Structure 1
Amino acid sequence: MLVVLGALPFFLYVAVFLLLPIAVLAVEAFRATDPVTFEETWSTASVAAITEGPYRRAYVGSLQLSVITAVLGAVLGLALAVAILRARRGRLLRRLVLTASGVLANFGGIPLAFAFIATIGTSGVVTALLTDTLGLGLGGFSLYSMAGLALVYLYFLIPLMVLTIIPALEALRPQWREASDNLGASGWQYWRHVGGPVLAPPVVGATMLLFASAFAAYATADALVGSTVPLVTLQIANALSGDVVVGSENRGKALALGMVVLIGLVMVFYAWVQRRTQRWLA
């Protein structure tokens, strides 16, 4: 009984701030407002509308950006984490990198966009240095594009990957490598049959976490590219606050519901992978 009472605040928090908003989205997404009488009725028009036209392009753009940044962030973050653990003076370096990663992984939004604009934007410090002083330029690269936005996302996704994957790398037991060497296995065989299968679940799970983080990011993209890059988060903001057409808010809620469904599927897969990880590393 005491355990239930102790967990009651947590369940109330989840119900009020997670389940209730999702329930409201699920209801409002299937509502429609008549532009003449303003009467609300049940309809699937908003849900059908988000599967075509600019809304479909927004979903595709968000998925492309999230997949690219998640994969690149996972690969680069994993390489950085392995390099940290293999460094000779690893303790001091690991502390510094983990501290910096903890800060950078939570540094986003408008300040991050402004930092990149001031650095490699059209009139940024590095851009001016390369163009005016060295006469090089950025080779056609634009910060205000999908590639530029992906570069900005990597700024906080790589540190997030480092924080997520280092515990899994540290859990690889030295005895496994020693036993593999004693049995005459090569380094490739060790990683193929021992290290790789053990690390695969946490790496996949961390990649899913990066995907969800990139897919749900809004403030950085809004400050950096505005409406020039099709993203579903920007379409939601436009439907809720910028579109004056009656009933557009229902499309925004339908878009948000679609995001919740996609993120929910990713998180379910992430939870399943985490269970497999705990079984291997226990």
Structure 2
Amino acid sequence: MSRRIRHLAPALGLVPFLGYLIVFLLIPTIVVLVGAFSENGSPSLTNIQALGDSDVLRVLWRSILLSGSTAVIGAVLGALLSYAVATGSPDGLLRRAVTSACGVLAQFGGVTLAFAFIATIGFSGLITQAAQDAFGIDLFGNGWLFGLPGLMLVYTYFQIPLMVIVFLPSLDGIRTQWREAALSLGATTWQYWRHVAGPLLFPSFLGSMLLLFANAFAAYATAAALVSQGSPILPLLIRGALTSELLFGRENFAYALALDMVIVVAVVMTAYALLLRRSSRWLR
């Protein structure tokens, strides 16, 4: 009996994590699933069928466009910054400063981030007023900051440091011996990146970009603070379905929208896990 307990002891450390998953992931998913297929307490496909409406599909496309564009921009710029950091000293000041800043900026979101952009490039923002006084340029324009273009800019702000955090370990996994071997065999720098480093880093790069997509697709607080009217993306449409003062009883439709988001994020994260498993083979 004591031997069996000793074998089970390491697994006891997973109990808090499993409890966390059940309370904050499994139970909410079940609630969303049941609510999406219910209407007035009875099973129904009404809310699922409503997902095919043109307005819902338009909002879904905007969410995918916002998440995809910021994921690509954040992945490219973040990868370049990661490479600049990885080529420096592992214990250097640059690496410590960049990684520390990225750790903070990647979590800098919500109402605080929205206020920072409004105070900077809003109607009376610091940079907006400076550009107007110095060059006569109206950066605020027709209020683009409070629409989809503004969300793209704000989301990119926290996508870049997140890319640095998740992609830098992959760059650290590239061994200098591989480049030295390629150059000693007559390969150019371009050939080394084309045939050696590039194929090794591509699964990790693509997986990191999918993670950025999921991060932007599920973001809510920043968009809610910037966009006070209308629902250009799915999280705000869910908010409207739950808090609308004109249409009551839309909670089950909000569940259906949330189920739509759960499916998209689940597909993206599954692809991310597969790519991460592939890239981890050469990082061992």
- Shorter-chain TM-score bucket reads over 0.9
> Structure 1's 135 and 273: CA in aligned 2 closer, same or farther, altered over 3 A?
same
| Aligned ranges 1:1-282 → 2 under 5 Å | 1-33=8-40, 40-87=41-88, 91-138=92-139, 140=141, 142-228=144-230, 230-282=232-284
| Structure 1 range deviating more: 205-214 or 242-251 | 242-251
Unaligned runs of 5+ in 1: 34-39
| Structure 1 range deviating more: 104-113 or 81-90 | 81-90
Q: Distance in 1 between matches of 2:204 and 2:160?
A: 15
Given that 1:202 and 1:274 are in contact with CA atoms closer than 8 Å, whether structure 2 keeps it comes out as: yes
Q: Distance in 2 between matches of 1:243 and 1:169?
A: 51
Considering only aligned residues, what root-mean-square deviation do their CA atoms show, in Å?
A: 1.7
**Equivalent position amino acid for 1:270 in 2:** Y
Q: Secondary structure at 2:13's aligned position in 1?
A: helix
Q: Distance in 1 between matches of 2:115 and 2:248?
A: 34
- Count of matched residue positions in the alignment of Structure 1 and Structure 2: 276
Q: Secondary structure at 1:143's aligned position in 2?
A: helix
Q: Secondary structure at 2:42's aligned position in 1?
A: strand
Taking structure 2 as the reference length, what is the TM-score of the superposition? 0.92
**Percentage identity across aligned positions?**
49
**Equivalent position amino acid for 1:129 in 2:** A
Deviations 1:67-109 (A, max 9, x none): 0000000000011111223357981111101110000000000
Deviations 1:181-222 (A, max 9, x none): 111111111111110011011111110110011001111111
The Cα shift of 1:143 comes to 1.2
Given that 2:123 and 2:140 are in contact with CA atoms closer than 8 Å, whether structure 1 keeps it comes out as: no
Unaligned runs of 5+ in 2: 1-7
> Structure 1's 214 and 129: CA in aligned 2 closer, same or farther, altered over 3 A?
same
Q: Distance in 1 between matches of 2:107 and 2:13?
A: 30
In the alignment, which residue of structure 1 is the partner of 2:3? none
Q: Distance in 2 between matches of 1:270 and 1:252?
A: 27
Given that 2:231 and 2:240 are in contact with CA atoms closer than 8 Å, whether structure 1 keeps it comes out as: no
Given that 1:202 and 1:277 are in contact with CA atoms closer than 8 Å, whether structure 2 keeps it comes out as: yes
Given that 2:118 and 2:125 are in contact with CA atoms closer than 8 Å, whether structure 1 keeps it comes out as: yes
Q: Secondary structure at 2:52's aligned position in 1?
A: coil
Q: Distance in 2 between matches of 1:192 and 1:244?
A: 57
Taking structure 1 as the reference length, what is the TM-score of the superposition? 0.93
| Structure 1 range deviating more: 231-240 or 87-96 | 87-96
Given that 1:74 and 1:206 are in contact with CA atoms closer than 8 Å, whether structure 2 keeps it comes out as: yes
Given that 2:148 and 2:232 are in contact with CA atoms closer than 8 Å, whether structure 1 keeps it comes out as: no
Given that 1:146 and 1:229 are in contact with CA atoms closer than 8 Å, whether structure 2 keeps it comes out as: no
The Cα shift of 1:139 comes to 8.2
Q: Distance in 1 between matches of 2:82 and 2:25?
A: 33
**Equivalent position amino acid for 1:248 in 2:** R
Q: Distance in 2 between matches of 1:87 and 1:140?
A: 41
The Cα shift of 1:227 comes to 3.4
**Equivalent position amino acid for 1:198 in 2:** L
In the alignment, which residue of structure 2 is the partner of 1:37? none
